Amino acid sequence: MAPGMMITKNMPNVSHWSLESGYANEMSDGEYPIRAVDSGKNAAFDVVLTLLKRNFDFHCKGFDQGFRVILSMPGEELKATLNSLRVPISENSLITIKPKWITTSDGLRSYRPNQRQCFYQNERRLRFFKMYTQTNCEEECLSNFTKLECGCVKFSMPRDVYTTICGTANINCYETAMRKLSTDDSPESFSATCNCIPACTSIEYSTSIDHIKFDAAAINKIPGYKSNDSEYESYLN
């Protein structure tokens, strides 16, 4: 990981947005997460993905080279295995995203969480995440179980400053711990004690993606951008 990415500074204020209530204020220029003002291609988010030829690693992925785009709602752990798309190199890709907001009636608040099978945000607090979602809970559960089994956690797992990061000698241990946690579904299992039922409000995304051959001449017409012949590029919107 690049040194500048290891510590986040000047994090935008997200206190005016919540999963259950949405945006608390009227639209402004400083909102984060950024609000979508419209739908369709005219309001699309455009980005150029660039990869240096010398950074290709055919021993790792073979000829399966390109980019991975991960979709996740704000405040949720990024999981490439849950909702991701592959963007090939040298192609223009158009991703259509259809969000689905799932809510639970306030009339069910009087029921216990395990009766209605979901948590409202004020009912469950996680140690490493500000917002409760099933994915965040499962990631925290896996981190705690890995630490219990191996005495350390993977670099990508949430942890406190006192927890050791696993080295290469622990790869088999944390991979075994991951399999053990996911396959043991008994009522007495560690996973059951985590009780990672869904959140009462959640956002899901359905996607479709189209590809056309990348037009290098067109990308050079973007103001302020100049293509480098030594790079592979993809245009995504």
The CATH number of the domain where 129 resides is what?
A: 1.10.287.820
Residues 44 and 87 in one domain: yes
Residues 132 and 162 in one domain: yes
202 in a structural domain: no
Domain that includes residue 133, residue range: 106-194
For the chain, percent of residues with pLDDT exceeding 70: 78
Residues 216 and 187 in one domain: no
What pLDDT does residue 9 have?
57
189 in a structural domain: yes
Q: Would you state the structure tokens that stand for residue 109, as one six-digit string? A: 């608040």
Q: Which range has the worst mean pLDDT, 12-21, 116-125, 170-179, 228-237?
A: 228-237
Question: Structural domain tally of the chain?
Answer: 2
150 in a structural domain: yes
What pLDDT does residue 172 have?
94
Residues 183 and 214 in one domain: no
Category of 205 on φ-ψ map: left (φ > 0), alpha (ψ -120 to 50) or beta: beta
For the chain, percent of residues with pLDDT exceeding 90: 31
* Chain CA centroid to CA 194, Å: 21
Name the more confident of 178 and 4. 178
| Per-residue pLDDT at 214 exceeds 70 | no
Question: Taking a C-beta distance cutoff of 8 angstroms, is the pair 148, 174 a contact?
Answer: no
Question: Which pTM was predicted?
Answer: 0.75
Q: pLDDT per residue over 68-115, tens digit each? A: 888 888 888 887 677 788 888 778 888 888 888 889 988 899 999 999
